[in-house]
Amino acid sequence: TISVQFYLIALLFILFDVEIIFMFPWAIDFKALGWFGFVEMVLFILLLAIGFVYAWKKGALEWHSIK
């Protein structure tokens, strides 16, 4: 059987990997977006950082081996 921990780590990986999909076009067209684009991306990164800290505090990133 596969531990639920594998699924949790995979879900977190997909979540933060999708972040890159949104950040790459923003980085390419940064100057054209101006301050509005900058503020939107800062809010997006802040929201993801809050989610990461929440997952970390809940112990979702801890790996416990079964003995």
Comparing CA positions, the residue from 27, 26, 17 lying closest to residue 52 is 17
> C-alpha angle 52/58/63, rounded to 5°?
90
Q: Is the pLDDT of residue 20 over 70?
A: yes
Structural domain total, the chain: 1
Residue 67 lies in a domain: no
pLDDT band at 6 (very low <50, low <70, confident <90, very high): confident
Give a three-class secondary structure readout of 4-67. Answer: HHHHHHHHHHHHHHHHHHHHHHHHHCHHHHHHHHHHHHHHHHHHHHHHHHHHHHCCCCCCCCCC
Residue 38 lies in a domain: yes
**R_g (Cα) of the chain, nearest Å:** 16
CATH number at residue 40: 1.20.58.1610
Residue 53: per-residue pLDDT: 92
What is the extent of the structural domain holding 43? 4-57
Q: pLDDT tens-digit profile of 28-62?
A: 988 898 899 899 999 999 998 998 899 889 888 78
